[in-house]
Structure formats: structure tokens, C-alpha cells
Amino acid sequence: MALLPLPCITKITNPTPNPSHSTRRIFAKPSHFITHAKRNNHLHISCTSQNHNDNASENVECSQGKVDRRNMLLGIGGLYGATNLVSTHEASANPIQPPVLDKCGVATYWNTTEKKVEKIDTCCPPISDKIIDYKLPPVFGMKTRPSAHRVSPEYIFKYNMATDRMKRLPKDDPRNFMQQANIHCAYCNGAYDQPGQGNLDIQVHESWLFFPFHRWYLYFYERILGKLIGDPTFALPFWNWDNPKGMTIPPMYMDSRSALYDPKRNKENFPPAVVDLGYTGNKDPLQVVSNNLTIMYSEMIRGNSSALDFMGKEYKEGSPVNPGAGAIERGAHTSVHRWVGDPNQPSGENLGNFYSAGRDPLFYCHHGNVDRMWTLWQYFLPSSKVPDKRITDPDFLNTAFLFYDENAQLVRVTVKDCLDNLRMGFDYERIDLPWLDYRPPSQTAGAKIKRIGTNVPLAETIFPLKVDKIVRFRVPKTVKGKARELLVLENITVDTTKFLKVDVFVNDEDDNVTELDKAAYAGTYAQVPHKTSTANSMATTSIQLKLTDLYKDMDVADDDDIVVTLVPRHQGEGMTIGGIKIIMDPSPPPATT
């Protein structure tokens, strides 16, 4: 597939450059993300170039003349100084605080085979009485994280050697492979309490902390690997599962003699099996690819009305866990975890359960692409397709975590310092994005839905609802026509010990629930199994799905109701939805320029 055109910057309005940022970016290769959209509202893009050669001239030709590519990078870096999402407000003093390591407790998970809670007393890291506030080092050369399907034999050798050395470190070294894997266990399975908040857990999933935590996690993991082989330029690969050429497990992870191999994977999904981002069970590879591209378009563009829809809901000091996951986390991210994990293991180990996920080297490659999705959404998707992406709440920006760095020094990091990947010193290999315009075809025949709609119950008559089978019902619209509306699933009560997934369809004509490449597919809710330290494994959450673009693709002009179909992908009980409704979208419409 051809690369998308490279935009030219024709105007920079009122920049407020930060010299330290812009100077560093002289060394950065242009990210492939710059080929798709403006980075913020100060950049105006109106022309394209077909020259995609990184080694081409420093000038890019467009209808307005030549633009110095170095100035393009400097402009982006300088503008970030003014729009780096950091609020100027005073901190409200109640972000989630970093855990107290000497109070790290026993993590737990649910053994689905034995039907009992299992305790893990090995997730806690070594204790240090010296914690320093981490400062990002100067960036003198940008690391480029490569697509795992495109790496060279030399890269694979280096990566395997680094991982092998990490596994051979002393068991009590915080940089040891199992110690690194246990970071995920401790932060995700109830080993840490929120300081001063009783027995309320710290949980980095199902909230706006999902992307920042995992970015820091990969950042230090990557630096440790580089330190172990004496190569500070080493960059982790990403599993390019959003591109058809990368929709199988990357080959370097399939060599059983390699340090990158993990035996606890689903052998039925070894290559050439195509990763099923919808976890539909469809075995037709062409259909799965089409489903995957539709899912990516939906989770990145079509289904989000606000920054919180993508990032996850607010999670502050004193908040219970699982306030609500963002689109990628509850969608493609969760499906890949479960698709790779071994169903013959007691709880879907390794990748299929949070406590064990970091024990599979493929975890870090998977989350490399998750982080890449955040970078793409954060800066480079066109403003005409996505909402305002800034979160300026001090309680988000000042949330802190603890990690050990490449020198085994315990450091404290904050969310606000990880919002710019370039400032952290890494970027991603330029890869085309076939899902960017993979909008599902319009649904033109509304007659069948109108007939069905008279025979299905109103939502208010069947909720609250246990989601253990396919169910269909009507939901009243706020107004007739193609309004800017949101479908809200509220008071979703879930058993956190189970894999749960339910897909949502609106006015579905054909009832083929394994095909998602259609206008009727609205989105999903899903979770990876985990267990908190509290006695009650139930949590309550909610999601909202944007209907605006969906309405544009189907005949709803004269309808008072829509017909919603819920399709569970899990087996058995574990999820109850308290209610469902349609509300007007309160967010401002995306810019059209």
C-alpha cells in the first residue's frame, strides 16, 4: 500500500517556542504520523507532497513553494511548548499518589479452573529508601521504534540478547525480567493500596491512567534493555496489528529457542492465523482483516465524542477502581491480550491475564502499538475527525508512579512528563494506516429494521439486564433525524475476575454478528481478567458511544427509536447493565478546517 501524502505546513500562528524542545527535534526523523494531519490548532495544512523518501531533500515541494523540513520539526517542537496539555492551574492535591513500596501486599487473581482466589506474594518490588524525582534526560538522538514485522536479523539478535541478559540478572535485581513482569502484577492485581485511602486499590486500567502508566512502563523497560547491551539507541518494536501486513504474531517471537518466546500462548492462533481484534471467532482471514480495519476506524475516529472516551474516565484519589476504559483499551487492546493467552492455562496465562501478562515478551511489543495509537490520536489525526484531545485536569497531570530505571534507581514519575513521546526521546517507524479512511459502507435499506422494531421491547422494560446471550431492544432517540447523539450504557456491573466482552450494534439488518465491517457496528466493552485485593471482585463502570457518524451511514431520518443489539463474546454470566439511554452530545463538534 502506498504511503499517505505528506502535508506541508503553510502557516504557523502565534507560536510560543520552547528552545529546549525545538532544539532536540533537529535530530528526529519525521514521524509517519505527520503524514496524516496537523499536530495542533496552530498548524494549518493545505497541500501535499508525494515524496516520502526520508533521505530526500530537506525541502518539501508544495503548491505554496518549498518548506524547510527542519523548520517543520522545529515548528512542531516549539508549538508543543504552548500546547503540551499541561494546565497552568494550581494542583488540587488529590491525584492518585504513588504506592508505598514497604506496604506492598499480596496480589490476587481468580483461578478459573479451580474456581478459587490465588494469592501471589512475589509481585512486590525490592524496597529502597531513596526515591528521586525523575527528570527526562536531554534528547541528542531520537530512537525510532520499528515495526516488529520489518526488523532485520541484526536487530532480532540484539533484542534477543538484551532480553536474555535481563532474564539472567539476579532475582532481586529490580531490572530482572520477572521483576519487570511483576510491575504489571502489582499495579493491576491489588498489591498496592492508594496511600491514605484505606483498602482502596491502585489500578492503572479502566481509566485515564491506562496510556500514561504503560508509556512509562515501556520507557524504562526499553532503557534497561539498552543498558544491558551497551546500546542507548536501542528501541522496542511494536506489533503492527492495525495493518494487514502485521496482523499475525511477529515471527521473532515464534522461535522456541529464543528469549522472546513464551510457551503459554494459544497455539491455535500461531501464524498464519490473523489476529481477531473483535474477538468474534470468525475464521475467514479476509473477513477478520476487514473487521480489524473497521474496529480501528471506530476506536480511533468514529466512536469518540470526547478525550475521556478515548483515554478513559477520571480516576482520582479516593476513587474506586474501574471508572471506565477508553476505546482502544476496552477494544483492540483487550482482544489481543485474550487472543494470545493460552486457554489451556488455569486463567488464560500469560498474556490473557493481567497478573501474568508481563511474563510474555510479546506483551511489550503489543503495548508498543497501543502506545503508538495514543501518539497518533493525540497529535496527528485530523481535527475534522476527532474531538479536542486535551486533558488539563491537575489530578490527571500530577498522578505519579514509581519505577526502577536502567541504573536500578527508584524514581518517581508523573503523567504530565510523558505526554510528548518526542520529548521522551522516541518515535515510531513510518507505516501507512489503511484504517484511516476505512469507514464502513452506508446501510441504505431501513425497511427490515422498521418491521423488526415493532416486535422488540423497549429498553426500559427489560433493564437491568444480565448480558449472557444476544438481546435486542428499542431505545428512544432524543429527536428525529441525524442528530449528534450518544448511546450511554450505564451502571455496568462486572466481575473483574472474568474475561468479558459485549459488542453493540444499532439497526443491524443482517444479524451476522461475526461481521463488523458495517455501519451498524457501534463499539464494544471488554476487560482482561484481574482480581483486586478487596473481598468483592465486582466493579461498576459505564461507557458512551458516539452515534453521529453512524447515523450518517444509515436511514434513521423518520425514526423515533433505534434498535440496539447486544452480542456477548464471553461465556456465561459476569456482566449486568443497569440501563441504556440516548442523550444529546454535549461536546463541541470537531473543527471542519
- Catalytic positions: 184, 205, 214, 333, 337, 354, 367
575 CA to centre of own chain: 22
Beta strand pairing call for 485-495 and 538-546: antiparallel
The residues that bridge with 110 in the sheet, in sequence order, are 117
CA 341/CA 344 separation, integer angstroms = 9
- Supply φ then ψ for residue 236, to 5 degrees: -65, 150
Give the residue from 356, 586, 358, 345 showing the smallest Cα distance to 484. Answer: 586
Are residues 294 and 517 in contact, defined by beta-carbon separation less than 8 angstroms? yes
Sign of CA dihedral 275, 377, 566, 448: negative
The residues that bridge with 523 in the sheet, in sequence order, are 504
Angle made by CA atoms 106, 495, 567, in degrees to the nearest 5? 145
Give the residue from 404, 410, 361 showing the smallest Cα distance to 175. Answer: 404
Give the residue from 262, 212, 239 showing the smallest Cα distance to 335. Answer: 239
Give the residue from 304, 284, 161 showing the smallest Cα distance to 227. Answer: 161
Give the residue from 379, 408, 422, 398 showing the smallest Cα distance to 138. Answer: 422
CA 50/CA 218 separation, integer angstroms = 34
Phi-psi region of 290 (alpha: psi -120 to 50; beta: other; left: phi over 0): alpha
Residues 132-138: contacts with CB under 8 Å, at least 24 apart: 132/409, 132/410, 132/411, 132/412, 133/411, 133/412, 134/403, 134/405, 134/411, 134/412, 134/413, 134/417, 136/417, 136/423, 136/424, 136/425, 137/425, 138/24
CB neighbours of residue 586 within 10 Å = 9
Q: 3-state DSSP call for residue 72?
A: helix
Give the residue from 217, 555, 151 showing the smallest Cα distance to 367. Answer: 217
